[in-house]
Amino acid sequence: MDQTTLVARLEAVVGPTGVFHRPADLLVYEYDGSVDGAVDTARPAAVVLPTSAEQVAAVVRIANEAELPVVARGAGTGLSGGAVAQRGGIIVSLSRMDRILDVDRDDRTALVEPGVINLELSEHTLPGGHFFAPDPSSQKACTIGGNVAENAGGPHCLKYGVTTNHVLGLEVVLPDGRIVWLGGRAAHTPGYDLTAALVGSEGMLGIVTKALVRLTPAPEATLVLLAAFGDIDGASQAVSSVIAAGVLPAALEMMDALTIQAVEPAYHAGYPLDAGAVLLIELDGATDEVRETGEEVAALCAAAGATAVRAATAKAERDLLWKGRKMALAAMGRLAPNYYLHDTVVPRSKLPITLRRVGEVAREFDIPIANVFHAGDGNLHPLMLFDRRERGAVERVLAASNELLHFCVSPEIGGALSGEHGIGTEKRDHITLVYTADDLAAMAGVKNAFDPRLTFNPEKLFPKGYMCGEVRALRAQALAQKHGIYAF
Amino acid sequence: MPSEAVGRRPEGWGQAGVASANGRPTGAPAIDGLAAGRVLHPGSAAQVADALADAVSQGLAVAPLGGGTALALGNVPDRLDLALSTAALGDVIAYEPGDLVLSVGAGARLADVQALLAEHGQELPFEAPRGDRATIGGLVATAIAGPRRLANGTLRDLLIGIAVAHPSGTVTRAGGMVVKNVTGFDLPRLYHGSLGTLGVIVSANFKVVPAPRHEATVLAVTPDLAAALAAAKSVGGLASRPGALEVMLDGEGWTVAARFFGRPGTVDSAVAAAKGVLGEGTRRLEGAASTAWWRRYVDGQAIEVGPDEVMVRAAVRPRDSGSLAEAILGVIGEHGVTSRAVSVSPGLGTVVARLGFPQAPDGAPALRRVQRALLGVADHVTILAAPPAWKAGLDVWGEPPATLDVMRALKSQFDPERTLNRGRFAGHI
Ligand SMILES: Cc1cc2nc3c(=O)[nH]c(=O)nc-3n(C[C@H](O)[C@H](O)[C@H](O)COP(=O)(O)OP(=O)(O)OC[C@H]3O[C@@H](n4cnc5c(N)ncnc54)[C@H](O)[C@@H]3O)c2cc1C
């Protein structure tokens, strides 16, 4: 299908204002939130902005006819290159499907279109006493569809779980262009839990056109503690002792000195400028329980060497403490023109040793690294600060990141390659650090079952050059050799 | 490890009815009356994989076997030659209390795991019938969960990693030992509830939580279902949210049971609030008494039936639980069956009922009619257990969803020869 025909066919589905195909219009779709250099950019043949599942399905069928890849896109805040059309083709932007279709307070569910902005859903439901628990730091911009595709997390996922724990059902356009529901309002859908497979599938198995998500009742009381420490080690010890004491905070976030220096002058959140690290600990639940637990946690922090502990219960005060955390990335602009956000998870007990290694890497590679992260989960986000105009800066940052990745997933540490940003293209060649060929073959099996022609979001997750079909054949061959038997 | 019990040659393996090398009895297990000719007790993940690959090469049909507490679940197998027991895979592989993560072999018993966690003041916030026998692998495979699902979800929500042996002869892992992980597709959750039809789960990793410091239960008896459901609704709406909330048929009346967890003070105020809405005549169970009451209740939902009995589960959106329960009582009345136990989970939208069939021994036509009638009033209906002869020809999972073709494709990717639990899962996969 030539470009003119393609555009005409697409326009027939979504109207002329629903298709971008001029190079200037396509430019912003060559990127997502990832660092240019960490992830390759690529130009799609066209970007389509459908307004219904039927339109999405029709676009997918046209793409199939034209033998073009299809890449779903939400807000493009992804940090692993997920929404970049690596092999060109059609980008399906869900941004115009942004309606909250239904809020059911009895069932505590919301039915939303994929383009609904994460924060808007909570703002919409909070007046009635509910919120959508997954709260990525990008929540002012990112979409529910993108959250589902990346299985996004956020500070409050420590207590409430990540996106997958809040998705009850999905309406999905499959790679063959069919519209189907997975899961739903009633429990116990017969058969495999395809909803589970879809969440976190990085746009590779289906395009989400509606999501039925769980709403969480707002807690009776909330308390935020700010604990300051002389150094990161002390703060990490406090994290361990809070967890060990059997306390499950709603959120437990850490910021180091560099972060405080960027944030405090900009937002006056009240973080002590001389602290080596601060912890933000949010507790929520029944009023008495929160008060008692608050006292306990404050004592634990003091015992771990906190130089100051402040408690905030009033909303305005709490919001101010959080503001520094939420604006931390934005504040980094004060320190350097660019940053690279690294995302790995380590067991909580390995936080001190890992953070020490982060400090060493910063020195070895001569890169300032700020730490602002979900300490309660062990989800690290070292922020590497650089200036891309400086020659070799990007390469140096990537080398440092690579060093840290290897450290975190080493057998000694036992961490994960990504805690919330996904694999995409960014870490596709690192995935073999944690998964064997057999492990990947099982994942390829899932891909093959949903998308046998491999048209949805190609060149993601699996290492470069990896063909799902081939691996299956290889596995069969190995099996035949091993057992001398016929295999599939 | 009973390595001599498992080798590459079948004759070295434990035989039905014979004690295996690790001393565990190996009575020939049967599923729906079909006896497995042989039962093996592999002692490692690799041995499970080898056994599966051999089964494929010999064209055998295999059923993974855990504690045997839920063998009645599923369609009558198309065929059964070999049972692969996880009994020798019950080790605790890793437990880091400081990290709140746990890795256990598939054959570990739920009660043993909970006892270990309790030593460190932790738990899996999860319960299942016959926890003293039910294995972790079986619980993941069947997606069975108890009333605490209301506040804590199922094992699906706690799973952080898994290892699975496949008919291809490989062992694969997904996830890991950290609480947050988006590395690759979420296979652990896909295996959850797949009834061992994609592979044999050999170990599973979970996040665990601090055990609640205290618990108490409020019980209130009401004369009729409508009053019970209304009462349950008010309790469910309290700020102090119950950890479990059930409504059950109890003799002539209906009991509302609400369970609360937390610090003693928190539990006290929650109980007071619940009593406030439930009115006079409530009973309070404290601490161990509360725990024991729920254990009995959950054990009552064990997936097994007598010769004239059927156990069904129906699901709707939670707000329609009341009408579902009423409708089920209607179906029971219309089809001349009796209700021996009915449990409503109003916050979850499910009803589990144990029905007596006076039509026994030939209950098949009646069961068919009852299933059809239930499918008319619920979104999903599972016949959890029934006499095998009555199940034959039925799909106990009800109507398969429109995505059955994707499910079949998954099955053929993972188990192309349909070696595992052939026919037992939804759509006779
Ligand atoms: C400053 C900043 C902070 C961040 N903080 C966090 C954080 O705290 N936690 C966290 O988890 N992430 C965080 N992220 C990453 C990112 O915001 C999340 O991954 C988010 O979920 C992506 O949503 P999006 O709408 O921008 O998706 P996109 O970037 O547009 O797409 C991401 C992936 O989802 C797929 N996709 C999008 N929509 C659909 C759909 N409808 N159906 C199927 N697939 C779809 C795309 O193909 C792509 O693979 C942060 C990003 C930034 C820039």
The answer to whether A288 contacts B193, with C-beta atoms less than 8 Å apart, is: no
> According to the model, what pLDDT value does residue A465 have?
87
Q: What is the mean pLDDT of chain A?
A: 94
ipTM confidence? 0.94
String of DSSP letters for A379-416 = EE-EEEEE-TTSTTHHHHHHHHHHHHHHHHHSTTT--B
Length of chain B: 429
Identify the bridge partners of residue B339 per DSSP, sorted by sequence position: B355
CA dist., res. B227 & res. B223, Å (int)? 7
Helices A468-483, A437-450: axis angle to 10 degrees equals 130
pLDDT for residue A184 is more than 80: yes
pLDDT for residue A403 is more than 90: yes
A100-104 and A221-229: which strand pairing? unpaired
Task: Indicate the top mutation candidate among A30, A35, A77, A157 to test ligand 1's pocket, ranked by most ligand atoms within 8 A of CB.
Answer: A77
Structure tokens belonging to residue B370 = 């009852």
pLDDT for residue A113 is more than 80: yes
* pLDDT over 70, % of chain A: 96
Q: Is A208 in the pocket of ligand 1 (CB under 6 A)?
A: yes
The answer to whether A378 contacts B190, with C-beta atoms less than 8 Å apart, is: no
- The CA distance from B409 to the nearest CA of chain A, in Å, is 5
Of A348, A416, A438, the CB nearest to B98: A348
For residue A80, report the distance from its CA to the centre of ligand 1, in Å.
Answer: 9
Q: Give the pLDDT confidence of B221-231 residue by residue, as tens digits.
A: 998 999 999 99
The answer to whether B174 contacts A181, with C-beta atoms less than 8 Å apart, is: no
CA dist., res. A344 & res. B183, Å (int)? 10
3-state helix, strand, coil in chain A (%, to 5): 40, 20, 40
B386-396 burial: b if 16+ Cβ within 10 Å, else e: bbbbbbeebbb
Report chain A residues whose CB lies below 8 A from the CB of B266.
285-286, 288-289
- The CA distance from A81 to the nearest CA of chain B, in Å, is 14
Q: Give the pLDDT confidence of A289-341 residue by residue, as tens digits.
A: 999 999 999 999 999 999 999 999 999 999 999 999 989 988 998 899 999 99
Instruction: State the pLDDT confidence band at B283, using cuts at 50, 70 and 90.
Output: very high
> According to the model, what pLDDT value does residue B4 have?
30
* Amino acid present at B333: G
Q: Is A194 in the pocket of ligand 1 (CB under 6 A)?
A: no
Q: Give the pLDDT confidence of B83-98 residue by residue, as tens digits.
A: 999 999 999 999 999 9
Length of chain A: 488
For residue A239, report the distance from its CA to the centre of ligand 1, in Å.
Answer: 28
> According to the model, what pLDDT value does residue A475 have?
53
CATH 3.20.20.100 fits B3-210, yes or no: no
Q: Is A280 in the pocket of ligand 1 (CB under 6 A)?
A: no
Q: Is A329 in the pocket of ligand 1 (CB under 6 A)?
A: yes
Q: What is the mean pLDDT of residues B17-30?
A: 51
The answer to whether B409 contacts A240, with C-beta atoms less than 8 Å apart, is: no
Q: What is the mean pLDDT of residues A390-405?
A: 94
Looking at chain A, which residue has its C-alpha nearest residue B348? Answer: A187
The answer to whether A190 contacts B399, with C-beta atoms less than 8 Å apart, is: yes
Residue A465 exposed, middle or buried by CB count within 10 Å (0-12, 13-18, 19+): exposed
Instruction: Give the best residue of A188, A252, A350 to mutate against chain B (max B CB count within 10 A).
Output: A188
> According to the model, what pLDDT value does residue B2 have?
33
Class of the B214-299 domain? alpha beta
Q: What is the mean pLDDT of residues B263-278?
A: 94
For ligand 1, atom 52, the nearest C-alpha belongs to: A138
- The CA distance from A192 to the nearest CA of chain B, in Å, is 6
Instruction: State the pLDDT confidence band at B27, using cuts at 50, 70 and 90.
Output: low
Longest dimension (CA), chain B: 68
> According to the model, what pLDDT value does residue A26 have?
95
Instruction: State the pLDDT confidence band at A481, using cuts at 50, 70 and 90.
Output: low
With the C-alpha atoms ordered A253, A254, A259, A265, is the resulting torsion angle positive or negative?
Answer: positive
Structure tokens belonging to residue A123 = 């703002």
Instruction: State the pLDDT confidence band at A469, using cuts at 50, 70 and 90.
Output: low
> According to the model, what pLDDT value does residue A473 have?
54
A155: nearest Cα among A347, A382, A379, A343: A379
> According to the model, what pLDDT value does residue B136 have?
98
Instruction: State the pLDDT confidence band at A466, using cuts at 50, 70 and 90.
Output: confident
Say if A185 is an interface residue toward chain B (CB within 8 Å): yes
Q: Is A89 in the pocket of ligand 1 (CB under 6 A)?
A: no
pLDDT for residue B38 is more than 90: yes
Q: What is the mean pLDDT of residues B124-147?
A: 97
Q: What is the mean pLDDT of residues B368-389?
A: 98
CA atoms within 13 A on the CB side of A324: 30
CATH 3.90.550.10 fits B309-391, yes or no: no
pLDDT for residue B1 is more than 80: no
The answer to whether B98 contacts A436, with C-beta atoms less than 8 Å apart, is: no
DSSP A39: B
- How far does Cα A100 stand from its chain's mean position? 22
Q: Is A374 in the pocket of ligand 1 (CB under 6 A)?
A: no
Domains present along chain A, CATH in parentheses: 3-93 (3.30.43.10), 100-217 (3.30.465.10), 221-330 (3.30.70.3450), 336-408 (3.30.70.2740), 435-482 (no CATH)
Spatial neighbors of B244 by CB under 8 A, at least 6 apart, are B146, B147, B148, B150, B151, B257, B258, B259, B294
Identify the bridge partners of residue B220 per DSSP, sorted by sequence position: B256, B282
Say if B24 is an interface residue toward chain A (CB within 8 Å): no
Q: Give the pLDDT confidence of B297-344 residue by residue, as tens digits.
A: 999 999 999 999 999 999 999 999 999 999 999 999 999 999 999 999
Longest dimension (CA), chain A: 71
Instruction: State the pLDDT confidence band at A470, using cuts at 50, 70 and 90.
Output: low
The answer to whether B401 contacts A191, with C-beta atoms less than 8 Å apart, is: yes
The answer to whether B97 contacts A244, with C-beta atoms less than 8 Å apart, is: yes
Of A244, A479, A486, the CB nearest to B168: A479
CA dist., res. B379 & res. B369, Å (int)? 17
CA dist., res. B202 & res. B216, Å (int)? 36
pLDDT for residue B3 is more than 70: no
Least confident of A198-212, B61-75, B100-114, B250-264: B250-264
With tokens 């007596």, the residue in question is B356
Q: Is A351 in the pocket of ligand 1 (CB under 6 A)?
A: no
Q: Is A115 in the pocket of ligand 1 (CB under 6 A)?
A: no
Say if B120 is an interface residue toward chain A (CB within 8 Å): no
- Boundaries of every domain in chain B: 3-210, 214-299, 309-391
Q: What is the mean pLDDT of chain B?
A: 92
With tokens 């420490």, the residue in question is A229
A308-312 and B282-286: which strand pairing? unpaired
For residue A56, report the distance from its CA to the centre of ligand 1, in Å.
Answer: 19
Report chain A residues whose CB lies below 8 A from the CB of B210.
245-248
Report chain B residues whose CB lies below 8 A from the CB of A174.
406
The answer to whether A347 contacts B101, with C-beta atoms less than 8 Å apart, is: yes
The answer to whether B402 contacts A446, with C-beta atoms less than 8 Å apart, is: no
- The CA distance from B149 to the nearest CA of chain A, in Å, is 11
Q: What is the mean pLDDT of residues A354-369?
A: 96
Of B54, B178, B192, the CB nearest to A345: B178
Of A197, A243, A436, the CB nearest to B186: A197
Domain B3-210 matches domain B214-299 at the CATH topology level: no
pLDDT for residue A396 is more than 90: yes
pLDDT for residue B56 is more than 90: yes
Task: Indicate the top mutation candidate among A142, A209, A255, A381 to test ligand 1's pocket, ranked by most ligand atoms within 8 A of CB.
Answer: A142
> According to the model, what pLDDT value does residue B66 have?
97
Say if residues A37 and A392 touch (Cβ distance below 8 Å).
Answer: no
For ligand 1, atom 53, the nearest C-alpha belongs to: A77
> According to the model, what pLDDT value does residue A478 have?
52
pLDDT for residue B16 is more than 50: no
> According to the model, what pLDDT value does residue B10 have?
31
Instruction: State the pLDDT confidence band at B252, using cuts at 50, 70 and 90.
Output: confident
